[in-house]
Structure 1
């Protein structure tokens, strides 16, 4: 794959745009730039991200690959029409962006036990099956190209859930199975724990130097990097150079990035064409 072919677009911010039309325009611009892989999840925008991507995919399914996820509680289904929900979210963002007088700012509290990472939970077959069916309906597709365990490790899955996932892949309803967890969690895995899995998706780049060993630790897996631009200066060409370096470091995998600004996306993609 070329540099552009190995990029993927993260759809986490779609539901934060002002309207479905803005989301469609952004996705159309990304597709026109040559990016053909789109990554979403049921928890992005409380389900709206999958729906927005699904609307965009009508008539385009054969042009793209789609990744979505399971394993995080979906929460209560949104009750508002998508147009109204996106408009309200945009209004909230504008209100939050207004500067707050120093005297009115709350003091920072020290970290508490509530801030700690929650203990792992067990994920059963019924939960996975319901999530899979809901994602296919929201996306309007029959086959999910890449189905990712979201912020959990394979040990959290009950045996019946693993069996269900393997049967989905065998039946062609899922192309590949993957684990999308924090790189710090993935570092603790062993090859035997990933024997049934095809893909690892995790943070990579200047902010995550300890994750640079993961491709060599799991050479048989396809690796997908994300959050590559965390902490990278946005001035000049630093972001584009960093993205290009991450693509170069992952010759058999993909690099995800996300932005709601199509001009920034064009700049970064342009660096890979140069």
Structure 2
């Protein structure tokens, strides 16, 4: 397993990390993702650790806390061998104090997460969504407090607008607080909007990308194709309403190229899609998920080899789409998309 720096921090993370949204299976969304109990989770984590994958990502909102509880139970006795990333900020109840990133909410959320995980610290805490109702000074000051208290080691965000990431970094510099080192983002061959604004920001500010849904919400698993409709048992039937949108022609164009490269390399469609992401600027780790051992072992096969420059160029071309305004006019500027590998 390759290890990389998490953004411009001293924390080294595996190129692949494991998302535990499949643990617990509570609620309409997460029950469709997976229903792994503690015994199943322990087996999956065993396989991950054997492969050198030691970063496990969860969130308080995953199965209403059950994902954190199962993860904590599954790693019991080997906490020192793994890294835990969790997220908070989305609603955990209907009360006014049950959501957001206020000082009150963050402190309580961290204490609750530590209890569920059965640990005394969280390696990486990420704010799950931007809270416009709480001043950024309060958010960053609270993260500083939690880091100084030893309850979290590093801080990041997830699904944040670029201007808020930059504002947070500026305030951290102004007050001498720890900077954000990670941004958990949606990024895939059928969803490259990250590249337009957030990727250049990440390169400039030393923020490592932790990529969620690298297979485009299950659309790049190899089960869907131009002449192959969605299988009857696919989770997309139940979860597509939550998925990032994609145009059908873009999807099929990408799948066509993935299948062609799969035939050339002997690798699977998911392995190729993940390997492409691992070569992108600012990507520190790609979060893979699995409902069973077979899926996990297949996804772990995305590392240890490399696509050729020609194959990467073909995937780049097949997945290319115009970025949103105001970035479109700058597409033709030489070097705009050629970020230095030193900034990854």
Query: Considering the TM-score relative to the shorter chain, is it more than 0.5?
Result: yes
Q: Match of 2:105?
A: 127
TM-score, scaled to structure 2: 0.60
Q: List aligned pairs for 1:224-239, cutoff 5 A.
A: 224-230=210-216, 231-235=219-223, 237-239=268-270
Count matched residues: 226
Match of 2:278 among 226, 236, 247: 247
Alignment of 1:215 onto 2:193? no
Provide the C-alpha distance between the structure 1 equivalents of 2:36 and 2:83, rounded to a whole number of angstroms. Answer: 26
User: Post-superposition shift, 1:45?
Assistant: 0.8
TM-score, scaled to structure 1: 0.74
Q: Match of 1:205?
A: 188
- Secondary structure in structure 2 of the residue aligned to 1:272: coil
CA contact (8 A) 1:191 1:218 kept: no
- Secondary structure in structure 2 of the residue aligned to 1:253: strand
Q: Match of 1:256?
A: 287
Q: Match of 1:92?
A: none
Instruction: Give a deviation string over 1:180-232, Cα, whole Å, max 9, x none.
Output: 11xxx534546234343221111011121211232222212122111110121
Alignment of 1:13 onto 2:22? yes
Distance 1:164 1:193, change over 3 A: closer
Distance 1:222 1:251, change over 3 A: closer
Q: Match of 1:46?
A: 64
User: Post-superposition shift, 1:129?
Assistant: 0.9
Q: Comparing both chains, which one has the higher relative contact order based on Cα–Cα distances under 8 Å and sequence gaps of 6 or more?
A: 1
Q: Match of 2:134?
A: 157
Q: Match of 2:2?
A: 2
Structure 2, gaps ≥5 residues long:
4-12, 26-34, 173-179, 224-261, 263-267, 306-344
Provide the C-alpha distance between the structure 1 equivalents of 2:165 and 2:122, rounded to a whole number of angstroms. Answer: 26
Distance 1:250 1:52, change over 3 A: farther
Instruction: Give a deviation string over 1:232-259, Cα, whole Å, max 9, x none.
Output: 1425611100111111215661111111
Q: Match of 1:138?
A: 116
Q: Match of 2:161?
A: 186
Q: Match of 2:236?
A: none
Match of 1:23 among 34, 41, 45: 41
Provide the C-alpha distance between the structure 2 equivalents of 1:134 and 1:226, rounded to a whole number of angstroms. Answer: 24
CA contact (8 A) 2:89 2:100 kept: no
Provide the C-alpha distance between the structure 1 equivalents of 2:299 and 2:74, rounded to a whole number of angstroms. Answer: 23
Instruction: Give a deviation string over 1:36-91, Cα, whole Å, max 9, x none.
Output: 00000111011110000011121111111101111112128xxxxxxxxxxxxxxx
Provide the C-alpha distance between the structure 2 equivalents of 1:142 and 1:250, rounded to a whole number of angstroms. Answer: 33
Distance 1:188 1:175, change over 3 A: same
Provide the C-alpha distance between the structure 2 equivalents of 1:175 and 1:264, rounded to a whole number of angstroms. Answer: 31
- Secondary structure in structure 1 of the residue aligned to 2:24: helix
Alignment of 1:35 onto 2:49? no
C-alpha root-mean-square deviation of aligned residues, in Å? 2.4
Provide the C-alpha distance between the structure 1 equivalents of 2:269 and 2:78, rounded to a whole number of angstroms. Answer: 33
Structure 1, gaps ≥5 residues long:
77-120
Q: List aligned pairs for 1:57-206, cutoff 5 A.
A: 57-75=75-93, 123-152=101-130, 155-158=132-135, 159-181=137-159, 185-189=160-164, 191-195=166-170, 196=172, 197-206=180-189
- Secondary structure in structure 1 of the residue aligned to 2:303: helix
Provide the C-alpha distance between the structure 2 equivalents of 1:19 and 1:71, rounded to a whole number of angstroms. Answer: 25
Task: Name the stretch that deviates more: 136-145 or 185-194.
Answer: 185-194
